[in-house]
Amino acid sequence: MIALIMAGGVGSRFWPLSRASNPKQFLNIISDKSMLQMTVERLLPIIDLEKIYIVTAASQVQLTRKHLPNLPKENIIIEPFGMNTAPCIGLSAKYLALRHDLNETMIILPADHLIALEDDFHASIKTAERSAKNDYLVTFGIKPNYPATGYGYIEAGENIDEETQIVERFKEKPDIETAKKFLQAGNFYWNSGMFMWKIETILDSFKNYLPKVYNLLDKIGTIWETEGFSADFSEHYAKMPRIPVDIGIMEQAEKRVVIPVDYGWSDVGSWKALYDVSDKDADGNVFRCERENIDSKNNYIISDKFVATIGIENIIVVDSGDAILIADKSRSEDVKKIVEKLKEEKLDKYL
* pLDDT tens digits, one per residue of 132-160: 999 999 999 999 999 988 899 999 999 99
Residues 229 and 285 in one domain: no
Residues 222 and 307 in one domain: no
What mean pLDDT comes out for the span 109-118?
A: 95
What was the pLDDT predicted at 333? 87
Query: Is the pLDDT score of 82 beyond 90?
Result: no
| 307-310 and 324-328 beta bridge pairing | unpaired
Residues 204 and 284 in one domain: no
Residues 150 and 296 in one domain: no
Residue 348 contacts by C-beta under 8 Å, 6 or more apart in sequence?
342
Residues 19 and 65 in one domain: yes
Residues 164 and 259 in one domain: yes
What was the pLDDT predicted at 269? 87
Rounded to the nearest integer, the mean pLDDT of the chain is 95
Closest CA to 240 of 27, 16, 87, 77: 87
Percent of the chain with pLDDT over 70: 100
Residues 172 and 238 in one domain: yes
37-78, pLDDT tens digit by residue? Answer: 999 999 999 999 999 999 999 999 999 999 999 999 999 999
Query: Is the pLDDT score of 10 beyond 90?
Result: no
| 2-6 and 52-57 beta bridge pairing | parallel
In which domain, by residue range, is 21 found? 2-266
Q: What is the CATH number of the domain that holds 225?
A: 3.90.550.10
In angstroms, how far is CA 260 from the centroid of its own chain? 18
Last residue of a domain, one of 266, 296, 317: 266
Query: Which DSSP state fits 33?
Result: S
Q: Quick check: 2 and 92 in contact, CB under 8 A?
A: no
Residues 42 and 171 in one domain: yes
Residues 193 and 257 in one domain: yes
Residues 197 and 75 in one domain: yes
What was the pLDDT predicted at 9? 82
3-class secondary-structure state, position 224? helix
Q: Quick check: 326 and 315 in contact, CB under 8 A?
A: yes
What was the pLDDT predicted at 83? 87
Last residue of a domain, one of 222, 243, 266: 266
Reported as type and span, the H/E element at residue 261 is strand 256-261
Packing angle, helices 211-227 and 85-97, rounded to 10: 40
Output phi, psi for 172, to 5 deg.
Answer: -70, 170
Domain count, the chain: 2
Residues 56 and 193 in one domain: yes
Rg (CA), the chain: 21
Last residue of a domain, one of 266, 295, 317: 266
Residue 168 contacts by C-beta under 8 Å, 6 or more apart in sequence?
155, 156, 157
273-296, pLDDT tens digit by residue? Answer: 999 999 999 999 999 999 999 999
Residues 189 and 281 in one domain: no
